[in-house]
Amino acid sequence: MNRLIGPVLAVLVLAGVGFAGWRSYEQRATEQTAKLEAAKMETVRGLIGSEKESFFNDPRVVEILQKNAITVQVEKTGSRAIAQRPDLKSFDFAHPAGAPAALKIQKMVKAQQVFTPFFTPMVIASWKTLVPVLEREGLVKQEAGNYYVVDMPKLIAMMDKGTRWKDLKGNDVYATSKSILVSSTDVRKSNSGAMYLGLASYVANGNNVVQSEEELQKVLPLMTSIFLKQGFQEASSAGPFDDYLSMGIGKAPMVMIYESQFLEYLAKQTAPGASANMVLLYPRPTLFTKHVFVAMSAKGAKLGALLESDPGLQALALEYGYRTSGQDAFAKRVADKKLPVATTLVDVIDPPSFEVLERMIADIEKKYAQ
């Protein structure tokens, strides 16, 4: 028996050494593979509108991009403010909200490739307790049994007249002396403010897109009043919506936002009744905000193409409330989640040209400084 112990121990020692060697080799191979994968991974840096930050930070988005050898580093800022960055060309892409802002950036950096992975309409976030008051004034009506539309010409006329909330008949829920206004972002810095300007100027111009100098001068006094009367305004779209959610009707009876912000918030709610008093109002007419991706490098172009074409990324965009090129997919999600939104919008206008919008914003900016 003793004669067997030596050989057995020798075999065990050899096996242990062999196993250790194999484990060491496997570990080195794994580390080498990881190094090779890391070497292939490209870091893509970009500037984005604040409303897209949660999308890019989603672990599922990160995973899909990493499978395509991409790591994204984003910095959020107001969509219009992106074009004012002195270091703009040091980034691989810019992903603002709104075609006018994107066009400005595209011209500045002479970008050759742009992508439009998703879009969203401009809407007004308000409160169900206010709806009966607005309905009595003929400002709001329900359609298709589950969503509301706002008569923008009537609303703009009330703003022009200086109507106050307490002047509305039967208003015992918000009888304040505040002027009827729609809160927005700073038109000088944010696309959502610029889109509100485009919509309001269209209505003030007799339901026509502002084109000439004569038309611009005609609508400018009212446009300036609509923005200056709001007082302090946030630089990015997250600000007014955060005020709406945290401060309620007292601070924000009506707020111009992106539909995607509202839908993203609803999708994340788990507590019953958390959004019971919140309501979405669709301006009639309204306009779409395209979330245009401006590629400023080959790495940026690779990311832009993925965002626009990858089925997984497109599906995740729907979860964040965006509309994609596949309209049926958005309609199905709305139906599945029983969301009170309009799946089809007919009365959709275009914003003014890049040059006219810039001119209006520049003139309004002068009034801020006076």
Domains, the chain, with CATH or none: 42-369 (3.40.190.290)
- For the ranges 5-19, 53-67, 268-282, the lowest mean pLDDT is seen at 5-19
31 or 158, greater pLDDT: 158
Block residue for tokens 């006018």: 100
Mean pLDDT of 309-338: 90
Confidence of residue 150 (pLDDT cuts 50, 70, 90): very high
Q: What is the mean pLDDT of the chain?
A: 88
pLDDT at position 4:
56
For residue 36, pLDDT over 50 is answered with: no
Give 179-236 pLDDT, tens digit per residue.
999 999 999 888 899 999 999 999 999 999 999 999 999 999 999 999 999 988 888 8
For residue 37, pLDDT over 60 is answered with: no
pLDDT at position 338:
85
> What pairing do the DSSP bridges indicate for beta strands 70-76 and 42-48?
parallel
For residue 257, pLDDT over 90 is answered with: yes
For residue 283, pLDDT over 90 is answered with: yes
For residue 140, pLDDT over 90 is answered with: yes
Burial class (CB in 10 A: 0-12, 13-18, 19+), 263: buried
For residue 326, pLDDT over 80 is answered with: no
Half-sphere exposure of 202 (CA within 13 A, CB side): 21
- β-partners of residue 122 are 258
The three-state (H, E, C) secondary structure of the chain, written as one string: CHHHHHHHHHHHHHHHHHHHHHHHHHHHHHHHHHHHHHHHCEEEEEEECHHHHHHHHCHHHHHHHHHCCEEEEEEECCHHHHCCCCCHHHCCEEECCCHHHHHHHHHHHCCCEEEEEEEEEEEEEEEHHHHHHHHHCCCEEEECCCEEEEEHHHHHHHHHHCCEHHHCCCCCCCCCCCECCCECCCCCCCHHHHHHHHHHHHHHCCCCCCCCHHHHHHHHHHHHHHHHCCCCCCCCCHHHHHHHHHHHHHCCCCEEEEHHHHHHHHHHCCCCCCCCCEEEEEEECEEEEEEEEEECCHHHHHHHHHHHHCHHHHHHHHHCCCECCCHHHHHHHHHHHCCCCCCCCCCEECCCCHHHHHHHHHHHHHHHHC
For residue 93, pLDDT over 90 is answered with: yes
Write the CB contacts of 313 (distance below 8 Å, at least 6 apart in sequence): 61, 64, 117, 306, 307
164: left (phi over 0), alpha (psi -120 to 50) or beta: beta
Confidence of residue 275 (pLDDT cuts 50, 70, 90): confident
pLDDT at position 15:
52
Q: How far is it, in rounded angstroms, from Cα 265 to Cα 8?
A: 67
For residue 34, pLDDT over 50 is answered with: no
Predicted TM-score of the model (pTM): 0.84
Query: What tokens appear for 282 in the block?
Result: 């669709």
208 or 101, greater pLDDT: 208
Write the CB contacts of 130 (distance below 8 Å, at least 6 apart in sequence): 173, 174, 249, 253, 254
Confidence of residue 270 (pLDDT cuts 50, 70, 90): confident
For residue 57, pLDDT over 90 is answered with: yes
pLDDT at position 33:
43
Q: How far is it, in rounded angstroms, from Cα 332 to Cα 80?
A: 33
- β-partners of residue 164 are 179
- Asked if omega into 7 is within 30° of 0 (cis), the reply is no
